[in-house]
Amino acid sequence: MSGADWELARESLWPIVSGAVTGTIPLALASFVGGMVIAVAVALMRLSRRRWVARLGAVYVSVIRGTPLLVQLFVVFYGLPSVGILIDPWPSAAIAFSLNVGGYAAEIVRAAILSVPQGQWEAGWVIGMSRRRTLSRIIVPQAARVSVPPLSNTFISLVKDTSLASLILVTELFRRAQEIAAFSQEFMLLYLEAALVYWVICLALAAGQSRLETRLERHVAR
Amino acid sequence: MSHAEPATAPTQGPAALLEVRGLTKSFGDTPVLRGVDLTVRRGEVLAIIGPSGSGKTTLLRCLNGLETPSGGTIAVVGGLAVDFAQRPSESVRGLLRDRSAMVFQHYNLFPHKTVLENVIEGPVIVQRRPRQEVVAEARSLLERVGLAEKADAYPSALSGGQQQRVGIVRALALRPQLLLFDEPTSSLDPELVGDVLGLMRDLAREGWTMVVVTHELPFAREVANEVVFVDQGVVAERGTPEQVLRHPQQERTRRFVDRLLHPM
C-alpha cells in the first residue's frame, strides 16, 4: 500500500466508525429489542393450546423465513407509501429488521421453552402455580440459559444485516464506506476497511456472549 | 388457600380425607385406569403397589390434578366433590391440588434456585405467607433432614438422596393435608434409599396422611396402614400389609410380591 492509501485509510476510519456508532449499532440494538418482543409473543402463540393461535404463529414464522430480508425491507420502505403509509428510512429499517429477527428468534425461544423438562411444569403445578406463573418463574429462567448461544448468533447476523439499510438511505457504517469509495474510487480499500470494522464489532459481541454464558451456567452441573 | 377441616369422623376408623369412586382414565384409546375406588384416611399411610404399566402412577397423579381423569369422582371430605364426567376447569383441578403436595421420582427441583429458594417458592409466592416466617420454617425443616448447611447450595451440587430430601421438605413447606409420593426412591442409588425411606417413616409416625406409590415392599409392610395392589388399571387386591403382602388371595398378587421379594 502506498502512503496515499494509508492516508485515505486513516482519514476514512473515523467516518466509518462513527457510522457504526450512530447508525449500525443503535439500529441493531433497537431491532433486536423489538425482535425479541415479537419473538416471545410468536413463540407463545406457537405453544398455545388454541389451534388457530398456534397456526397464526406458524404462518408468521413461515412468511418471515420464506422471504428475503431485502424484500421485507423494500416492502416497508418503498411498498407501504403506495398504500399511504410513509415511514422515514431509519424507522423503516428498524421495523423491517424487528419483524425479521422476530421470526427467526421465535423458533429459538420456542425450542428453548420446550427444552425445559416437563417435570418442571409439573413441579410448578404441584406447588400451586398457574401455567402463566410457572412459565415466568420456573420455565423462562431455564430457557433463557439455553437460548443465549443461538440468540447471540441471531444478534451477530443482525449487526451485519443492517448494512442492507444503506439501500434505503440510512446513514450507517456501510453507507459511509460507499460514499467515500465513490468519491475516492478506492473501492477495495474502503470495503475491506468496512469489513474490518464489522468484524471488530462482532468480536466484541462474541466475547460478551461467552461472559454471559459463563454467568448463566454457574449453577448447572455438566 | 382455604383448607377446610374435614367433617367429623364417619362411623368407623379415622375420617376419610379423600374418597375416590369409579375413577377411569384413558390416554387416547388406551384405558389406563378402569374404575378405581380408593379411600384415603386422615393420618394413615396408603401404599400403592403393582407392576409397571399397571396405572398406579397415573392413579396418584389423578389425585392432585396432574392428570385429568376421564370419569369417576373424587370427593374431599369437608366440601369439594369433583365429578369427572365433565372435564373440570383448571381452577377445579387446582382446588384438588391445593390440599396436597407431591414428591416426584425424579425430584424435579428447580435447578436455577437454591435449596432454600426451592422450599420457600410455593409458600411465599403462591400462598403469600410472610417470607421471614416461611424462611425460618424452611430452615428448621432442612435442619431436620440434615441439610441445614445446604440451604444456599444449588440442586446440582447435591446427591440424589439429598435432592429427594429437599423434594420432601419442599412438599412439607406447603403445609398440605395430604402427601403424595411417586416412587420416591426409584431413581436413587441403593445406598441412598435408606435415608429417604427413614425420613418417610418418621413422617408417617408424626401422623402425616400419605399416599405412596412404591416398589419397596418392606417399607410398605412396616409403614403402611393399607396396601392396594393395582394391576391392569383396577385394584386387584387391598387390605392390611399383612393380608396383601404375606397372605395374598389373588394369584397375580402372589406372583408380583414373590418376584419383588425374590428377584433371582
Tens-place pLDDT, residues A132-152: 999 999 999 999 999 999 999
- Contact residues for A75 (Cβ-Cβ < 8 A; gap 6+): A96
Burial A76-97 (b: 16+ CB within 10 A, else e): bbeeeeeeeeebeebebbbbbb
Burial class (CB within 10 angstroms; exposed 0-12, middle 13-18, buried 19+) of A153: middle
Residue B12: predicted pLDDT? 52
pLDDT digits (tens, 9 = 90+) for A11-68: 899 999 999 999 999 999 999 999 999 999 999 999 999 999 999 999 999 999 999 9
Whether the pLDDT of residue A182 is over 60: the answer is yes
Residue B5: predicted pLDDT? 43
* pLDDT bucket at A222, cuts 50 / 70 / 90: very low
Residue B2: predicted pLDDT? 43
Q: Chain B residue closest to A141 (CA)?
A: B112
More confident residue, B33 or B80: B33
Which of A155-164, B8-17, B151-160 bottoms out in mean pLDDT, i.e. has the lowest?
B8-17
Residue B182 near residue B60 (C-beta atoms within 8 A): yes
Task: Say whether residue A221 is in contact with chain B using an 8 A CB cutoff.
Answer: yes
Q: Chain B residue closest to A122 (CA)?
A: B66
Whether the pLDDT of residue B1 is over 80: the answer is no
Residue A57 near residue A106 (C-beta atoms within 8 A): yes
**Interface contact flag, A125 B97, Cβ < 8 Å:** yes
Task: Say whether residue A122 is in contact with chain B using an 8 A CB cutoff.
Answer: yes
pLDDT digits (tens, 9 = 90+) for B200-244: 999 999 999 999 999 999 999 999 999 999 999 999 999 999 999
H-only helix segments in B98-189: 115-120, 131-144, 160-172
* Chain A residues with CB-CB distance to B108 below 8 A: 117, 119-120, 122-123
Task: Say whether residue B249 is in contact with chain A using an 8 A CB cutoff.
Answer: no
* Among candidate residues A34, A32, A36, A60, the one with its CA nearest the CA of residue A46: A60
Whether the pLDDT of residue A219 is over 80: the answer is no
Whether the pLDDT of residue B8 is over 60: the answer is no
Q: CATH homologous superfamily of domain B16-261?
A: P-loop containing nucleotide triphosphate hydrolases (3.40.50.300)
More confident residue, B143 or B76: B143
Calpha distance A155→A202 (Å, rounded): 9
Percent of chain A with pLDDT over 70: 97
- Contact residues for A221 (Cβ-Cβ < 8 A; gap 6+): B156, B157
Residue B261: predicted pLDDT? 83
Domain parsing of chain B, residue ranges: 16-261
Whether the pLDDT of residue B95 is over 90: the answer is no
**Interface contact flag, A128 B127, Cβ < 8 Å:** yes
Q: Provide mean pLDDT across the span B155-183.
A: 96
More confident residue, B13 or B63: B63
Compute the mean pLDDT over every residue in chain A, rounded to the nearest whole number.
Answer: 93
Compute the mean pLDDT over every residue in chain B, rounded to the nearest whole number.
Answer: 91
- Grid cell 436455577 in the structure block, residue: B112
Task: Say whether residue A120 is in contact with chain B using an 8 A CB cutoff.
Answer: yes
Q: Which one-letter DSSP state was computed for residue B17?
A: E
**Interface contact flag, A130 B97, Cβ < 8 Å:** no
A32/chain B closest Cα distance in angstroms: 26
Measured from the Cβ of residue B201, the count of other Cβ atoms closer than 10 Å reads 14
* CA distances from residue B214 to A147, B24, B71, B88, B230 in whole angstroms, order as listed: 37, 21, 25, 29, 11
Assign domain A3-219 to its CATH architecture. Answer: Orthogonal Bundle (1.10)
More confident residue, B82 or A217: B82
User: Mind giving me the DSSP string for A86-149?
Assistant: ---HHHHHHHHHHHHHHHHHHHHHHHHHHHS-HHHHHHHHHTT--HHHHIIIIIHHHHHHHHHH
Q: What is the largest CA-CA distance in chain A?
A: 73
At B134, the amino acid letter reads: V
Q: How far is CA A192 from the centre of its chain?
A: 23
Task: Say whether residue B108 is in contact with chain A using an 8 A CB cutoff.
Answer: yes
Q: Provide mean pLDDT across the span A163-189.
A: 93
**Interface contact flag, B111 A122, Cβ < 8 Å:** no
* Chain B residues with CB-CB distance to A117 below 8 A: 108
* CA distances from residue A195 to A24, A186, A190, B50, B211 in whole angstroms, order as listed: 13, 14, 9, 67, 66
Q: Provide mean pLDDT across the span A112-123.
A: 96
User: Which ipTM was obtained for this model?
Assistant: 0.90
Sign of the C-alpha dihedral, residues B86, B90, B91, B97?
A: positive
B102/chain A closest Cα distance in angstroms: 6
Residue A1: predicted pLDDT? 67
H-only helix segments in chain B: 56-63, 90-97, 115-120, 131-144, 160-172, 190-205, 217-223, 241, 251-261
Q: Provide mean pLDDT across the span B90-102.
A: 88
**Interface contact flag, A130 B157, Cβ < 8 Å:** no
